[in-house]
Amino acid sequence: MTWPDAPQPPLRLAVDREALIANWRALDRLSGKARAGAAVKADGYGVGARLVGESLAGAGCRDFFVAYSSEAAELSGLIEPCNISVLHGPQSAEDAAYIASAGLRPVINSLRQAKFWYDAGGGACDLMVDTGINRLGLAMADLGDELVGGLDVVTLMSHLASADEDSPLNAVQLARWQQACAQVSSRDTSLANSAGIMLGEAYHGTLTRPGLSLYGGVPRGELAPHIRRVVQPQAMLMQVRDVAAGESIGYNATFTASQPMRAGVVAIGYADGYLRAWSGKGMMKSGTVHLPVVGRVSMDMTVIDLAAAPQLQEGDWVDMAYDLPFAAEVSGLSQYELLTSLGRRFGR
């Protein structure tokens, strides 16, 4: 049996492509003499890697970054494989062979990965040096190793741990990165993420790697005037119900109506990335009218107070109050979590 085409889901993610492109252009401009690439890992930070890649490549972006080689397939036909860097590098000999055959560029993070790459035939790659974040990255002490000396390094990069703060660690990492740049020959150099761009020209190298701010995030206050909102989650009102005074709503009865109220059951929950952190704190909107979340957020449903919007009926749509800096402050979640947790059930 052939299944008919499924109807659109009762939740959707409105993506403002013009804002996305404007954000990249702003970050490219703020990068000064360097050019800005685009981190599109984690399905374009939850926005949709293919949508993001198509939009930014069309706007002139040349450099794209994914975490794993398997993510690069989302960009096939849009971006030349040699312009896609695999940040986590080859995880095995088989992964290195795949990266080589696909024409992607691995980011070498260790001597072990360098060996994988040589055994796969080698070729152009990037090199990540750990300058103080102590995650992935080649140790500074290994820069003189003969395996490193034989690499064809396109971009020498490192990653800042505290660019969103005025931390002494920023200067420490900058000095170590500059030391690495003096030791390793490369065509490009890259240190700054979105927040790092605002630390100044010394942090830029020749290529910056914005991620969060492409999608509307503001990791440093100085970015706020330059960054536009990109995503707007929306969900359908599945049911409207009258709740009597004294009745509770949701799991564990954390909310009790103090007077008769009109409540709406909305088609979004923590399976969609609208996490339980929003319980009793979240807000949805109909136009400019705010509709507070009441009770606990469930896996697939959230209940809102409809007192301020008597016109809303079943089948109508509401917006999440999801401006990233504001939403992070209210929910206690990071702006990164707010984006990347958005589920696959959203129509985009």
Instruction: Cite the active site residues.
Output: 41, 251
Q: What is the dihedral of CA 190, 192, 194, 199, to 10 degrees?
A: -150
Phi, psi of 29 (to 5 degrees): -65, -45
C-alpha to C-alpha distance for 258 and 69, rounded to whole angstroms = 54
Nearest CA to 300 among 278, 273, 324? Answer: 273
Return all residues near 156 (Cβ < 8 A) that are at least 6 apart.
Answer: 126, 127, 129, 180, 181, 184, 186, 188, 189, 190
Distances (CA, A) of 10 to 7, 77, 97, 296, 314: 9, 30, 42, 20, 11
C-alpha to C-alpha distance for 83 and 223, rounded to whole angstroms = 27
C-alpha to C-alpha distance for 147 and 114, rounded to whole angstroms = 7
Phi, psi of 16 (to 5 degrees): -90, 95
Pairing type for strands 105-108 and 124-128 reads parallel
User: Do residues 138 and 128 lie in contact, with contact meaning Cβ atoms separated by under 8 Å?
Assistant: yes
| 4's tokens | 């008919």
Q: How far is CA 222 from the centre of its chain?
A: 20
